[in-house]
Amino acid sequence: MLELALLTGNSNPALAEKIASQLKEKLVPCEVGCFSDGEISISIDESLRGKHVFILQSICNSLSKQGEKLSVNDTLMELLVLCDAARRGNAEKITAVVPYLGYARQDRKAKPREPITAKLVTDLIVRAGVHDLIAVDLHSDQIEGFVDCYFGNVTVAQLVPPTIKKIGFDAKDTVVVSTDSGGAKKAKRLADRLSGEMAIVHKHRPKPNASFVTHVVGDVNGKNALLFDDIVDTGGSLVNAAQACLDNGAKKVAAFVTHPVLSDDATEKIEASNLEKLFVTDTIPLKRESSKIDVVSIAPTLASVIHSVYTGESVSALFK
Ligand code: R5P
C-alpha cells in the first residue's frame, strides 16, 4: 500500500487538523503563502514521491495564518497550486478533498450567456493533476458527472437525527422542508431516514442573492419544521422559509444547512429570525460565533471516507 500524506492550504486549517487527528496522522509541513503581488507560493517540506496525497481544501472565504482575508478565488488557486506541486513532486496518487466546493452553485445555464462554473472549476482541479475528488453535499448530484474520475459526494444526512434530538425535535413529528424545489430529492431522502414527511418552500429568485417565497407545498401545520439546505449565504432563503413555515402553522422551525457561507450580515439576520436553531457543519470556518448557530463537525465522516478511499474499502458501506 502507498504511504499516505495529508496536505492543506489556508481555507480551513482547523478542519484539516481534526481530520488528521481522527486518522492518527500528521499534516505534511507546508507553507502556503503569497508573493508581494498576491501570487500563491508553496513550499512543501517533505517528500511526496510515490505517496497517496490527500489535499484538504475548501473553496471558500477564509483568513490566512497572518489574519489576512482570503477570497474564494484565493483558496481555489491555493488548491490548484497544491495539486500542481504534489504532481510535480511525483505523488503516485492525488485525491482532492474539497469539503465545500465553491462555484458549484452555477451548475447549469438558467438563462442565456450564463457560465457553468461547477464544470469550469472541476475541470481546473482535474487538469491540475488530481486522480479522485471528494466533496460534501454537492449543490446538485449531476456535478459528479462533470469529471471523468471518482467523485465522492459525502452526505450529511446521518448527522441530522442525533443533532435535532438536542433541541427536542422528535424525528417522526418533524417535517423536513426543502428551501427550494432543487433540494426536494435530498429533503425526501432525509424525511425517509427520519420516517417523517417532507414539504417544499417554493422560492423565486429575481436576481442572485435575492429571493422571496411564493408558497409552501406540503403540510407543516402543527409539526416541527426542519429546513434542510446545502448552503446558507445571505440567509435570505432560510429566514423567509422559516417565516413561511410559521405562517403555515408550524410549531417550531429549525434548520440544518451543510455549508455556512454566511456572507455580510447573514449571521445577524439568522439571529433576528424565528429560527430556533441553525445547525451547520465545519466545511467552512464560521466567521463569528453565535448562540443561534451550532456547528456539527464533518471531520469524523470525512476521516472515515478518506480511510476507505485510501485502503480501497467501500465508501457506501459507511453510510448504511
Ligand atoms: C440555492 O440553490 C442553495 O441551495 C441555497 O438555498 C442558497 O444558496 C441560499 O442562499 P441565500 O442564503 O443567499 O438565500
For 4-155+299-319, which CATH class?
alpha beta
The Å distance, Cα 248 to ligand 1 centre, comes to 21
If one residue of 140, 142, 231, 256 were mutated to test the ligand 1 pocket, choosing by the most ligand atoms within 8 A of its CB, it would be: 231
- pLDDT tens by residue, 80-101: 999 999 999 999 999 999 999 9
State how far the Cα of 17 lies from the Cα of 145, in Å rounded to an integer: 30
Q: Is the pLDDT assigned to residue 241 strictly greater than 80? A: yes
State how far the Cα of 182 lies from the Cα of 66, in Å rounded to an integer: 39
Work out the pLDDT band at 213, boundaries 50, 70, 90.
confident
Sequence-distant (6+) residues with CB within 8 A of 26 are 6, 20
What are the residue ranges spanned by the domains of the chain?
Answer: 4-155+299-319, 157-296
Q: Between residues 206 and 287, which one has the greater pLDDT?
A: 287
Q: Which atom of ligand 1 is nearest to the CA of 235?
A: 12
State how far the Cα of 56 lies from the Cα of 50, in Å rounded to an integer: 19
Work out the pLDDT band at 65, boundaries 50, 70, 90.
confident
**Residue 229, ligand 1, Cβ within 6 A:** yes
pLDDT at position 56, please? 98
Q: Is the pLDDT assigned to residue 186 strictly greater than 80? A: yes
**Residue 132, ligand 1, Cβ within 6 A:** no
Q: Catalytic pick from 18, 186, 203, 252?
A: 203
pLDDT at position 181, please? 87
In the structure grid, which three cell numbers stand for residue 32, read together? 502556503
Q: Is the pLDDT assigned to residue 214 strictly greater than 80? A: no
**Residue 258, ligand 1, Cβ within 6 A:** no
pLDDT at position 210, please? 74
Rounded mean pLDDT, 240-252: 95
DSSP 172: G
**Residue 232, ligand 1, Cβ within 6 A:** yes
- pLDDT tens by residue, 117-163: 999 999 999 999 999 999 999 999 999 999 999 999 999 999 999 99
Backbone angles phi, psi at 153, to 5 degrees: -105, 100
The Å distance, Cα 35 to ligand 1 centre, comes to 34
**Selection from 199, 202, 173 nearest residue 188 by Cα:** 199
pLDDT at position 169, please? 94
**Mean per-residue pLDDT over the chain, rounded:** 95
Rounded mean pLDDT, 42-61: 97
Amino acid present at 98: V
Q: Is the pLDDT assigned to residue 206 strictly greater than 80? A: no
Q: Is the pLDDT assigned to residue 271 strictly greater than 90? A: yes
Say if strands 93-98 and 132-136 run parallel, antiparallel, or are unpaired. parallel
CA dist list (Å): 216 to 221, 245, 281:
11, 7, 26
**Residue 99, ligand 1, Cβ within 6 A:** no
Specify the 3-state DSSP secondary structure of 74. Answer: helix
State how far the Cα of 52 lies from the Cα of 95, in Å rounded to an integer: 8
Work out the pLDDT band at 313, boundaries 50, 70, 90.
very high
Lowest mean per-residue pLDDT among 132-136, 143-147, 172-176, 300-304: 172-176
Active site residue 203: yes
The Å distance, Cα 79 to ligand 1 centre, comes to 24
pLDDT at position 80, please? 98
Amino acid present at 307: H
Contact 141, 104 (CB under 8 A): no
**Residue 102, ligand 1, Cβ within 6 A:** no
* CATH topology identical between 4-155+299-319 and 157-296: yes
Helix axes 13-22, 299-311, angle to 10 degrees: 60
Q: What is the pTM of this model?
A: 0.96
With residues binned 3-state (H G I as helix, E B as strand, rest as coil), the percentages for the chain, rounded to 5, are 35, 30, 40
Q: Which atom of ligand 1 is nearest to the CA of 179?
A: 6
Rounded mean pLDDT, 274-279: 97
Task: Give me the CATH code for the 157-296 domain, please.
Answer: 3.40.50.2020
Backbone dihedral region for residue 304 (phi beyond 0: left; psi -120 to 50: alpha; all else: beta) = alpha
pLDDT at position 106, please? 96
First to last CA, the chain: 26
State how far the Cα of 104 lies from the Cα of 119, in Å rounded to an integer: 8
Work out the pLDDT band at 22, boundaries 50, 70, 90.
very high
Output the residue whose Cα is nearest ligand 1's atom 8.
Answer: 231
CA dist list (Å): 23 to 133, 212, 282:
18, 43, 17
Sequence-distant (6+) residues with CB within 8 A of 192 are none
Rounded mean pLDDT, 105-109: 95
